[in-house]
Amino acid sequence: MDFSLTAADRQQWEAARRLASEHLSPVVPAVGCERAGFDQAGWRRLGEFGLFQADLRDPGSSFRRAAHLLEACGTGGADRGLLFAAGAHIFGCLWPLIQLGTPAQHTHWVPRLGTGEQIGALAITEPEAGSAISALATTVTSEGDEVILSGAKTLVTNAPVAHVMLLIAKEFPQRGSLGLSAFLVPTHTPGVTIRPLATVGLDGAPAGDVELNEVRLPRAARLGPAGGGLGVLLSAMQAERTAILAGFLGAAEFDLARCHQYLKNRRRPGEQTSLADHQSVQHTLAEIRCRLEAARWLLYRGLWEVTHGTDRIAWPAMVKKTVSEAVYDCAHKIQCLYAGAGWRNIDRSATAVQDTLAILSASGTTDVQLNTIASQLSKTLVPLT
């Protein structure tokens, strides 16, 4: 297993990092928690850069490339909200479309989504069904050449700015989770109403409630076979759980470097040494460094497993659990190191805690990841001879 980047990939990595430091860093004042909102100009720049590009002949490479470039943008100081919005678009919508779409769906959607000219979202969660997929209640009925969707979705990242949603609904209620189907729903379709949600954290990734009131779509809007929604959902979850937080790891490194600099520059009056010279402070910084590095290697292993390996269920869950907990924990430790300045949101250290707290639940909570990992133990543990 070789996780090293080629020279060309490394060049792109550096270019993404530069793009982020020059154009994608939040311009909100350092002090205060002003809401930044969705960065349209930043999104356009990510599209022009080629972040969303997908090579249909080699989707695995496109998948890994997107994750590494998000990580690079994070190390350049890009806003986590923008990175999360980009991740939801790529891994929640574009990736399942590439894996399971028909040639006609590829021809229609991939150029639009691959340039970022149009924005995608993944709509699974419902007001009464978050962790429990089997409880999804959005219905599908067929009439001639059309399908009709009715129901409600919530907490959908990108919904207020999206052009298309990959939406999971229940077509065959008697079959449980095997009765789900997936649809590509243009957000301008009559009967679709989207309301922005007020959230705490990830201000740059707008979330919304979605109402579906007898939404009529051609049968060709179905992604995968009738009753194949679980496969689509798994494809999206594999990708999201593995890769959506790559940018957050990069962002945590950026925050660690800034915190280190802050502590090196901060001296008590009359003292030669800085706060960074205290061993306890150094140990906390070193702990953060270890935690992030361990999470990164698991992320890279997960990217490899999803594109080369055989187990695409437990690895994504392990990556999601480990990376989300690591970046939240590190953001919290960093805010504590800033102390009073952290409360004042210096270097956006308080914003980082809010942003990383939010992603503990996205793509399934830690409890749900543990359920998934536990369900695969008999297949993934080393055999005892």
Ligand X SMILES: Cc1cc2nc3c(=O)[nH]c(=O)nc-3n(C[C@H](O)[C@H](O)[C@H](O)COP(=O)(O)OP(=O)(O)OC[C@H]3O[C@@H](n4cnc5c(N)ncnc54)[C@H](O)[C@@H]3O)c2cc1C
Q: Backbone phi, then psi, for 360, in 5-degree steps?
A: -65, -30
In angstroms, give the least distance from the CB of 229 to ligand X: 13
157 forms part of the interface with ligand X (CB under 6 A): yes
In angstroms, give the least distance from the CB of 306 to ligand X: 19
Helical axes 246-265 vs 59-75, angle rounded to 10°: 20
Q: Which is nearer to ligand X, 168 or 337 (CB)?
A: 168
Q: Which is nearer to ligand X, 62 or 363 (CB)?
A: 363
Q: Residue 355: which of 221, 211, 243, 252 has the closest Cα?
A: 252
Distance set, CA 186 to CA 58, 138, 140, 183, 221 (Å): 27, 17, 16, 10, 9
Q: In the range 68-107, which residues lie near ligand X by CB under 6 A?
A: 88, 92
Q: Residue 207: which of 32, 358, 28, 43 has the closest Cα?
A: 358
Size of the site for ligand X (CB under 6 A): 22
**Euclidean distance between CA atoms 124 and 74, whole angstroms:** 27
Taking only Cα atoms into account, the Rg of the chain, rounded to an integer number of angstroms, comes to 21
Contact letters (x/-) for ligand X, 23-62, by CB under 6 A? ----------------------------------------
Pick one of 105, 115, 361, 376: the residue that binds ligand X (CB under 6 A). 361
Per CB under 6 A, which region of 99-107, 122-130, 184-192, 336-344 contacts ligand X?
122-130
Pick one of 67, 122, 140, 237: the residue that binds ligand X (CB under 6 A). 122
Q: Is the CB of residue 72 less than 8 Å from the CB of residue 14?
A: yes
User: Is residue 117 annotated as part of the catalytic site, yes or no?
Assistant: no
Query: DSSP characters for 7-72?
Result: HHHHHHHHHHHHHIIIIIS--S-SSS-------HHHHHHHHHHTTT---TT-HHHHHHHHHHHHHH
Catalytic residue among 71, 126, 171, 240: 240
Sign of the torsion angle spanned by Cα atoms 114, 118, 119, 122: negative
371 forms part of the interface with ligand X (CB under 6 A): yes
Pick one of 364, 369, 372, 373: the residue that binds ligand X (CB under 6 A). 364
In angstroms, give the least distance from the CB of 138 to ligand X: 11
Q: Which is nearer to ligand X, 274 or 361 (CB)?
A: 361
Contact letters (x/-) for ligand X, 301-340, by CB under 6 A? ----------------------------------------
Burial class (CB in 10 A: 0-12, 13-18, 19+), 112: middle
Which residues are near ligand X by CB under 6 A? 88, 92, 121-125, 130-131, 155-157, 202, 358-359, 361-362, 364-365, 367-368, 371
